[in-house]
Amino acid sequence: MKKTIIFSVMSAFLLMLLPFSTASAAAPTPEGQEDEQQSTTITRDGTQPPIEGDEETFTGDVTVQPLFEANEDAPISGGLVTFQPGARTAWHTHPTGQRLVITEGTGWIQEEGGPVEEVSEGDVVWFPPNVRHWHGASSDSTMSHLALTGEEDGEDVDWMEHVSDEEYQKGQANDEEEQREDASWSEQQEQVTLISAFTAVGEMDSLEEAIHEGLDSGLTINEVKEVLVQLYAYAGFPRSINAINLLMDVVDEREAEGIEDEDGPEASPIPEDSNSIEMGTEVQTELAGEPVEGPLYDFAPVMDDFLKGHLFGDIFARDVLDYETRELATIAALANMGGVDSQLQSHLDMGLNAGLTEEDLEQVITVFESDVDQENAENVDELLQETLDNRE
């Protein structure tokens, strides 16, 4: 099957000489043009007034600026089409294909059976001959494109039914998903940092704001809940329970306001052929970079069992959060508690083993400086430098 192709504008100029077609309406041939086809002609700006897009072939506010008509020597016509937000063509095909040069704004295109794709200024789109497609502006931006049209037996376009709102809105859903992915570190990880830091010291007003902003950033209810459950092992049951109660209140408040937050997946069960101690030992060893042992665990072996079986087995092994996020939450909580430098430095090292980068941890420091506590930010900075030095 022939496929729609999107080029950058710099890679497409030579292709402009190939046959084209357009979704724009045909403009009347200027008087006398047929006699001038064998000589150089200049069509002055303003001599071909723009026309409104026909309601039978467009949805929304569309303006078509005719530029030139096809003739025997060059069976190609051109027009500049401008779509206001939400406007688009109907489904259509072109007998010789169609090439669009996006000149301004952001738009969406789709060929039948394919995804809705975003295009923006500088992109060049090629629709193969007789492929059903549509194009238009995105829901929140205007879009203009130059449309180049080839003819076959005097025909350049076959118009079909309108693009439904449901079909069009798939583009908006794609955009929102892309935005969520793009924002996943800068917003969601920042909110995990704040939620963890404020939970650890019981700053409930600040925590409430961070929970709201975390949900707004795309964190699911279960992801926030999982952070708060994990933190009982570091900040204690009272802090964790108070935070979870606050999360419940925030979710109820948002539901009353008509905000639908995603619950998100639940944790998968422990495999039948494993147990908490085995899983926890594996997780702890992976994060620490080596088996964890020492005089402390010889003196209090039950502590070793609790750490492996409960913290790293029952909690860290739950797949609601990845190891990077769990270490980020732990680091932020310990950093704001004070008096736990040894544990904090251990988790800075484990965070790097889990996949957090030096830049990620520096962002934690930046967040602490601006929104949490300057003195604690300086402490994390010093411990991070020591940790990095020790890893060299």
Beta-sheet strands, E only, within the chain: 5-8, 51-52, 58-59, 62-68, 76-83, 88-89, 92-93, 98-111, 117-120, 123-127, 133-137, 143-150, 158-159
Question: Which band of pLDDT confidence, cut at 50, 70 and 90, is reported for residue 317?
Answer: confident
CA 377/CA 379 separation, integer angstroms = 5
Q: What is the pLDDT of residues 189-206, one digit of tens each?
A: 999 999 999 999 999 999
Q: Which long-range contacts (CB under 8 A, 24 or more apart) does 35-40 make?
A: 37/71, 37/72, 37/73
% of the chain residues with pLDDT over 70: 86
At residue 174, the pLDDT reads: 63
Q: What is the mean pLDDT of residues 51-72?
A: 93
Question: Is the predicted pLDDT of residue 31 greater than 70, yes or no?
Answer: no
- Is residue 180 within a helix (H) or strand (E), and if so which, with residue range? helix 165-182
CA 142 to chain centre: 21
Global pTM reads 0.55
Q: Which residue has the tokens 């303003």?
A: 46
Cβ-Cβ contacts under 8 Å for 124 (sequence gap 6 or more): 6, 7, 8, 9, 11, 12, 15, 99, 100, 101, 102
CA 61/CA 157 separation, integer angstroms = 20
Question: Is the predicted pLDDT of residue 157 greater than 60, yes or no?
Answer: yes
Which of 139-148, 182-191, 300-309 shows the lowest mean pLDDT across its residues? 182-191
Question: Is the predicted pLDDT of residue 380 greater than 90, yes or no?
Answer: yes
Could you tell me if 184 and 81 are in contact, meaning their C-beta atoms sit under 8 angstroms apart?
Answer: no
Backbone dihedral angles phi then psi of residue 67, each to the nearest 5 degrees: -115, -50
Q: What is the pLDDT of residues 201-225, one digit of tens each?
A: 999 999 999 999 999 999 999 999 9
Backbone dihedral angles phi then psi of residue 252, each to the nearest 5 degrees: -60, -40
Domains and CATH numbers, the chain: 5-28+44-181 (2.60.120.10), 184-268+318-391 (1.20.1290.10)
